[in-house]
Chain A
Amino acid sequence: MRDTGGHPVRHAGQPRPVTEDDSERRLASAFAGGETWALEACYLRWSPLVFTLALRRLGEDADAQDVTQEVFLKAWRGRAGYDPDQRPLPAWLVGIARHTIADRMSSRTRDHRLHERITAVHEEPRDSGPADTVTDTLVVVDLLTRLEQPRREIVALAFLEGLTHAEVCARTGLPLGTVKSHIRRGLTQLRHHLGAGDDTP
């Protein structure tokens, strides 16, 4: 049985904590509510993720800067359509980023008159969905930078390196109970940050 904090069975439809990071949740609500400080906070928090993602895809620093600007402007102006209860803020921003990058790539393609490639290039990021490993990787790295020790090390060893609980204990010198609890919380945080793999903004 999975340890579900005293409940023998976790039901699929049962609400569960989306994240233990309440500050992030409050930021998402404030952003959706149009509180202006939230845009600055959101930018400080996630612009490196958006910028790096754009840089990785587009290769050009100037294009990545334009995309970063566009993503946060779109997010802010489109905040009425954002429901923090449905979607974590980082997953929403990453979705907007992927569409914006796709648009940029398709306009580049048009510029080069490679009409036959438009559809493929335009569709690529949408089709890649949850299998878009580069995006996932940057999202995970972004989360790792936020985690305090020892969770950061435990999450990296257990989820990225694929070590067993016992191996994580041996590597960190921490007791099994502590390791298990960090792994469980770490999984919740990873699930939250990666979102459902749906990139519709």
Chain B
Amino acid sequence: MTHPDLETLMAGVDHAPDEVLRHVAECPACREDLATLRRTRAAGDLLRREPGLSSLSAPPPEVWGAIQRELAGDDTVVPMPARPTRRRPWAWVAAAVVGAVLGSAITWAATQGSDSAHRATTSSALVPLGRNRTSGTISLTGSQPGAQLSLDVSELDPGPGFVEVWLLDARTGGMVSLGVLDGDHGSWALPPGLDLSAYDQVDVSREPYDGNPAHSQDSLARGRVP
């Protein structure tokens, strides 16, 4: 049984030649590929008609807070705030909140490089951890070297100690302190040599006045570097 090559299959999304159809009828793998190709092409057609579908919206931070409150009644309480240690697989937390990442058309999505937004400001969501309600927006202006990170937060719980902002390397557990957040807005120049593909998490923690410069492990909120 000879499989049609992928390009032949792709060309046959609308009108496949008879020999391809005969093969596909007998071959589950190629049938599944063709079905995927057709669904994806239909998605492309719909995107052209409705460019609004090309961006996803993140739910407001209250939704995550509600999930945690709900689960607090379960046996399987989610013991957040999470405690960063070297063993924790932070890599998964590094998955992004999408926000409106894609623009308004396929070609936009297709031509945007990850380095296309040199001086532009991009933003992502800061999501509360545990029973905290602190949430907000993380903004990144420019790219490394010379990038600037800023935070706008709301519902920062008044509490003891002070609030510190960190960048976290999910894979190694490495942390870099950016500084103190005083009030609901802060802005920091990033260390020029810092690799943002590794240090891709923003962590906001409450720190006691104990003279210990390490992270207190009392994280209030976290989000992805935009």
Contact = CB atoms under 8 A, between A and B. Distances in A.
Interface in A6-44: 9-12, 23, 26-27, 30, 34, 36-41, 43-44
B41 A133 contact: no
A140 B7 contact: no
A50 B59 CA distance: 9
Classify chain A's interface size. Answer: 35 or more
Interface in B60-113: 60, 62-64, 66-67, 70-71, 74, 76, 78-80, 82, 88-89, 91-93, 95-99, 101-102, 106-107, 109-113
B57 A140 contact: no
Interface in B1-46: 1-7, 10-11, 13, 27-29, 32-33, 35-37, 39-44, 46
Contact of B43 (A11, A45, A145, A160): A160
Contacts of B96: 44-45, 145-146
Interface stretch (B47-55, B176-184, B209-217): B47-55
Interface in A139-166: 140-142, 144-146, 148-149, 152-153, 156-162, 164-165
Interface centre among B3, B13, B110 (most CB of A within 10 A): B110
Nearest to A145: B101
Interface centre among A77, A144, A148 (most CB of B within 10 A): A144
Contacts, number: 202
Contacts of A45: 92, 95-96
A43 B57 CA distance: 13
B151 interface: no
Given A43-B67, A55-B57, A161-B44, A65 B62 contact: yes
Contacts of B66: 69
Contacts of A3: 5-6
B57 A51 contact: yes
Majority DSSP secondary structure for residues of A touching B: helix
A118 interface: no
Contacts of B6: 2-3, 180, 183-184, 187
A3 B109 CA distance: 28
Interface string A116-132: 00000000000000110
A68 interface: yes
Nearest to B47: A137
A48 interface: yes
Nearest to B38: A130
Given A1-B3, A138-B53, A40 B63 contact: no
A100 interface: no
B58 interface: yes
B101 A134 contact: no
A137 B156 CA distance: 37
A49 B56 contact: yes
A1 B62 CA distance: 53
A160 B106 contact: yes
B51 to A, nearest CB: 11
B111 A153 contact: yes
A131 B62 CA distance: 33
B56 A40 contact: no
Contact of A65 (B37, B41, B46, B59): B59
A109 interface: no
Given A48-B97, A144-B102, A159 B5 contact: no
B33 A187 contact: yes
Interface of A: 1-4, 9-12, 23, 26-27, 30, 34, 36-41, 43-45, 47-52, 55-56, 64-65, 68-69, 72-73, 76-77, 130-131, 133-134, 136-138, 140-142, 144-146, 148-149, 152-153, 156-162, 164-165, 180, 183-184, 187, 190-191, 194, 196-197
Given A36-B82, A65-B59, A137-B53, 10 more contacts: A11-B29, A37-B93, A44-B97, A47-B58, A68-B59, A136-B42, A141-B54, A161-B106, A164-B7, A191-B33
